[in-house]
Amino acid sequence: MKKQVVVTGLGCISPLGHTVESTWAAALAGTSGGGPITLIDPTLHKSRIAAEVKDFDAVARFGAREARRMDRFAQLAMAAAEEALADSALQITDSNRLRVGCLVGSGIGGSSSLIEQVKVFMNGGPDRVSPFLVPMMIPDSAGGLIAIRMQIQGPNWAIATACATGANALGEAAEIIRRGQADVMLAGGSEASVNDLAMAGLANMTALTNRNDDPQGASRPFDATRDGFLMGEGATVMVLESLEHAQARGAKIYGEILGYGSTNDAFHISAPAENGRGAVDCMQMALDDAGLKPEQIDYINAHGTSTPLNDKSETAAIKTTFGEHAYDIPVSSTKSMTGHMIGAAGAIEAMFCLLAMRDSQLPPTINYENPDPLCDLDIVPNQSRPAELSICMSNSFGFGGHNATLIVGKHQAQAN
């Protein structure tokens, strides 16, 4: 029997809100986080819109000295981790700090700090480059900084699997607990790449939407007129614990990590396999890990990026995996509201699954106006709706062919 892993704390900062509950309320209301870009000069770019985290003041939160030594992605990760730890009511002490770890990933890492310091180098030479550049740039800095701030000394590493990062981080953190290396893991993903190079590179590979006059309607997964994803940013961190540890301290439980799958398409560096073969294998791996049959899944939070290829491929993969049951499962894409948060996407979407079970409410896919016959599943169009949910699946697929699927469920005590 493998150890059961449960979620006891949630933390989130997103384009929809600075907390878990404000983000979730906005998602259920069908609110878009899209808007004109403010973090850089948008006039230089083809895609001039994004889903930014609004009104985030890192100096007020962490102090000027600490804030300037952290890239924005690490600042957001820290904010989410603080909320998650507080929500869990877990006290870090000398007796448990070696059994508490951290696995927070980022698809791109501190790219904004890198770009800024390249400019400094070009204008002033090597002596002007910040001594904090490397710690700010590397993707594992968020986890390291969280560990220092919270004084946790268990396993600490980072994952970078592009858009699958957040889901992989949660899945691998659960495995660390299952194999007995830790009792508790802070896990999730963070991204802050609304910067000149990332926006230019993604636009030039035609990944981004060009609906610059309609930022709130730009992300439209599964709609026939979708033209690319809306860049997003933010962070989500969860506290995962072994069931025994959580019960021993009387922790509240949001749900259980039931299954995890991870595969690779081995097809193309950025495009998904048209038949979704790698995604099919990934979903099946997660079902097998959970010991579940396809018909036991009540809801799927889709990867649903709003790109022409992804949404078509994912729909095909879901049909292959679930057969006729695919038409009975609600399948929504919350990226229609948050934009594509890259390394944080899988984590926030798993969080939405847990909250959907808690509140018996499905988040919608907004901006659905023109049906695509190739994307003909129940995508919960435009409005949230009530639904009794016990087991949910979350899909995340990333550049490089990375696929990650998580299955979360109500813990038995919750279900009863």
Asked whether the beta carbons of 70 and 78 are under 8 A apart, the reply is yes
Closest CA to 344 of 73, 118, 98: 73
141 and 40 both lie in a single domain: yes
32 and 143 both lie in a single domain: yes
12 and 35 both lie in a single domain: yes
Closest CA to 135 of 81, 63, 66: 66
| Consecutive 10-residue averages of pLDDT for the chain (416 residues) | 93 98 98 98 96 97 94 98 98 97 97 95 96 94 97 97 97 97 98 96 96 98 98 98 98 98 86 82 98 98 96 96 97 98 98 98 98 97 98 94 96 67
- Of the three residues 248, 268, 296, the one that is the final residue of a domain is 248
128 and 97 both lie in a single domain: yes
The reply to whether 219 falls in a domain is: yes
Separation between Cα atoms, residue 260 and residue 273, nearest integer Å: 21
Indicate the SS3 state at residue 386. strand
According to DSSP, residue 31 is labeled: -
180 and 285 both lie in a single domain: no
38 and 158 both lie in a single domain: yes
What pLDDT, on the 0 to 100 scale, is given for residue 416? Answer: 54
Indicate the SS3 state at residue 362. strand
226 and 289 both lie in a single domain: no
What pLDDT, on the 0 to 100 scale, is given for residue 413? Answer: 64
Asked whether the beta carbons of 376 and 222 are under 8 A apart, the reply is no
DSSP strand E in 107-182: where?
Answer: 156-157
Q: What is the pLDDT of residues 204-225, one digit of tens each?
A: 999 999 999 999 999 999 999 9
The reply to whether 416 falls in a domain is: no
- Of the three residues 206, 223, 248, the one that is the final residue of a domain is 248
DSSP strand E in 282-377: where?
Answer: 299-301, 331-332, 361-362
The reply to whether 415 falls in a domain is: no
What's at 235, amino acid-wise? A
28 and 146 both lie in a single domain: yes
Q: Could you tell me the residue range of the domain that residue 314 belongs to?
A: 260-410
What pLDDT, on the 0 to 100 scale, is given for residue 415? Answer: 57
- Of the three residues 190, 221, 248, the one that is the final residue of a domain is 248
The reply to whether 284 falls in a domain is: yes
134 and 271 both lie in a single domain: no
What pLDDT, on the 0 to 100 scale, is given for residue 136? Answer: 95
244 and 264 both lie in a single domain: no
The reply to whether 25 falls in a domain is: yes
Q: Which residues lie below 8 Å from residue 159, measured CB to CB, with a gap of 6+?
A: 103, 105, 165, 168, 169, 172
Q: How many domains does the chain have?
A: 2
What pLDDT, on the 0 to 100 scale, is given for residue 302? Answer: 98
Separation between Cα atoms, residue 300 and residue 309, nearest integer Å: 19
State the CATH number of the domain containing residue 216. Answer: 3.40.47.10
- Residue linked to tokens 């292959």: 320
Query: Active-site residues: which are they?
Result: 163, 303, 340
DSSP strand E in 232-350: where?
Answer: 234-242, 255-264, 299-301, 331-332
What pLDDT, on the 0 to 100 scale, is given for residue 414? Answer: 59
SS (H, E, C) 64-87: HHHHCCCCHHHHHHHHHHHHHHHH
What does residue 287 show for φ and ψ, rounded to 5 degrees?
-60, -45
Separation between Cα atoms, residue 202 and residue 228, nearest integer Å: 10
35 and 158 both lie in a single domain: yes
229 and 270 both lie in a single domain: no
The reply to whether 255 falls in a domain is: no
Q: What is the pTM of this model?
A: 0.96
